[in-house]
Structure 1
Amino acid sequence: MISCFTLMTLTACTAAEQELPVEVRIANATPAVSVTARGETTPVGTPNADAADDPAIWRNAADPAQSLIVGTDKKAGLYVYGLDGKSRDFLDAGRVNNVDLKDGVAINGAQGVLVAASDRNDVANAKVALFRLDTATAKLTAIGKIDGGRGEAYGICLGRDESGLSAYIVLKDGTINQLAIDASGATPTARIVRTMKLGTQAEGCAVDDRTHILYVAEEDVGLWRFNARASGATTPTKIAAADGKNLVMDAEGVAIAPIGEKDGYVLVSSQGDNAYVLYRLRDDAYVGRFRVVDGAVGGTEETDGIELMLGDFGPAFPGGLFIAQDGHNAAAAQNFKLVAWDDIVQALGLAQP
């Protein structure tokens, strides 16, 4: 979260942080189209703080309007929300930063929804906190923690291939540890199968299970991709630089819009100018930018985590659901804004799948 300026001033940041006021950054950035949110969650419970951070989505295929959102209050724990934005559950899990989930995972001998959160309660020793999401009751149950390596836990994303389920935990210094997870027994277990490295602070990540590519945002540098397989090369490929034009540092949350067998878009939060950037998956080409502005509910600013899932989510979100953390939620505590993917597609003139 950027802390060295406010939206009401033109005061420059410290030289050490090397950031310009947000108004200047917006003026220098590539133009962005505007969309409005169709919904929002209730604010997190921690007021007057940078608290809400990252969302994850579970889609109810049988009744899409009854899908669920899991979101972090990184000072306190995990929330479960309905698509109406109302809180359905809160679990005191302490300082959990980012969150992701996978359906159809063997958990304690039964198939279910596994939720994984980067646990930074011990800043010297990263953990991944694991939970079961009961989709009938919208309740979370803690099932254990696994070691994520030495360092402060920051980002987290899950990926799955023929070898099983992996968690990719992004440490604050840019180290990325891939953990092979087994949650089928009474206590979850994991082992670090390989380590990747970016040069500076990184956080947001997402895995494309179709192509087995891991996308990671290095905050002041740009967006990268890695081979996501445990046997894959650990050398990253840069997709886009945080050049102050298309992508304005900090580069934060990452999400994927999969279309067809290999195509679609990767989205990244351009936190420095309150925008979101799309790159095409098949060739890493820049596609466009958008902002979430005030409408029926407020817009978004200084977004950390984002998530996107395509498909039917009921009448309000028929083509897919995009969620963004809002760092300035008027006089209330921070929350998450819900945007229809259809509105983004229309605003940017994207080709329909």
Structure 2
Amino acid sequence: MIRLTLGLTSLLALAACATTETEVPVATRIANTTPAVNVTARGETTPVGTANADAADDPAIWRNAADPAQSLIVGTDKKAGLYVYGLDGKTRDFLNAGRVNNVDLRDGVTIGGQPGILVVASDRSDVAHAKLALFRLDPATAKLTALGKVDAGTGEAYGVCLSREGAATYGFIVLKDGTIHQVALDASGAMPTGTIVRTMKLGTQSEGCAVDDRTGTLYVAEEDVGLWRFDARAAGSPTPTKIAAADGKNLVMDAEGVAIAPIGAKDGYVLVSSQGDNAYVVYRISDDSYVGRFRVVDGAIGGSEETDGIDLMLGDFGPAYPGGLFVAQDSHNATAAQNFKLVAWDDIGKALGLPR
């Protein structure tokens, strides 16, 4: 595949022969946007197994508090199933789970009577009937075990994110048409169950989402419109508030993956993938204000382009990832199949001049 962000000169040359009358060249989109700082990845995963296709999509991070360097990343190959990677990027497990698109996880969930790591993916095997596929992640072996699937409404499953509200675990499934169902999940028995407790709606195609459990806030990216927030509580209002428009300056459609960097009790940052210009945009949680933009560019490891899913977790991840770990899907991984790039949060914070 052609790497799209080798530099502005290269992009302009490529764009001259690779675009249609209605398509805006990537180089033009980059040239017209708000400036972004550059960071480089410190690691990358092995490519997914599906080659020559848009396959890798969304990551989820599990942090090993007892031994942070042994933390794990779950990533989707939306044509085939779920991968588990170590922080060295090597594949620790692959589960043939079919067409799972996005993924999220929560630790400390009761699974079969015992606390464990619950992994939930949006299952789009049947585009007319959305489902949530549930798995247990064993941190000792890095193996995934399928628990079962629950119904999640009529339509094509797309995005997914999890939340905890008291003792309850919820899955938010974002259907391709912008419908969002909040599903109460119960994995404590022999088979998981799910009940839709609330429905919200955005006007057009949406996918990426993340929940800030501290503040009870759901963030959703409407691809061609912008970034929204909802009350994530089961009894909350279904009315969204727009945080940022896909204005072609700070945020360039498609707006894709969403991730959260929580700081303190109520502050921090929400990040969204500005897929249209190969960048990532940072907003302040406390007041929805724009903070800055960054790109993951070529270094010792290749950069990331046209990113779908992202995830971020702050904290100690060992010496390679001080301050936290940012993971981004890479749609143009040189001549290999798509994969995920790993970036230290400290590198992002320093480049953006964020307070420490």
* TM-score range relative to shorter protein: over 0.9
2: CA distance, partners of 1:110 / 1:235 = 36
2: CA distance, partners of 1:190 / 1:52 = 27
What pairs with 1:1-353 in structure 2 (closer than 5 Å)? Answer: 8-10=14-16, 11-13=18-20, 15=22, 19-162=23-166, 164-352=168-356
2: CA distance, partners of 1:27 / 1:38 = 27
Alignment match, 1:3: none
Aligned pair count reads 344
* Amino acid across the alignment from 1:345: G
* Amino acid across the alignment from 2:46: T
1: CA distance, partners of 2:90 / 2:215 = 35
User: Post-superposition, which runs of at least 4 consecutive aligned residues in structure 1 deviate over 2 A?
Assistant: 6-15
Q: CA deviation at 1:329?
A: 0.1
* Secondary structure of 2:15 counterpart: coil
* Structure 1 residues not aligned, in runs of 5+: 1-5
The two structures have a TM-score, normalised by structure 2, of 0.95
1: CA distance, partners of 2:295 / 2:275 = 11
* Amino acid across the alignment from 1:29: T
Q: CA deviation at 1:256?
A: 0.1
Query: Over aligned residues, Cα RMSD in angstroms?
Result: 1.0
Change (3 A) 1:99 1:14: farther
Q: CA deviation at 1:163?
A: 5.2
Alignment match, 2:3: none
* Secondary structure of 1:343 counterpart: helix
2: CA distance, partners of 1:323 / 1:127 = 25
Q: CA deviation at 1:318?
A: 1.8
2: CA distance, partners of 1:340 / 1:145 = 34
2: CA distance, partners of 1:140 / 1:292 = 30
Q: CA deviation at 1:14?
A: 5.8
* Structure 2 residues not aligned, in runs of 5+: 1-9
* Secondary structure of 1:347 counterpart: helix
The two structures have a TM-score, normalised by structure 1, of 0.96
Q: Please say which of residues 265-274 and 156-165 is displaced more in the overlay.
A: 156-165
* Amino acid across the alignment from 2:96: D
* Amino acid across the alignment from 1:65: A
* Amino acid across the alignment from 2:332: H
* Amino acid across the alignment from 1:310: L
Q: CA deviation at 1:12?
A: 3.3
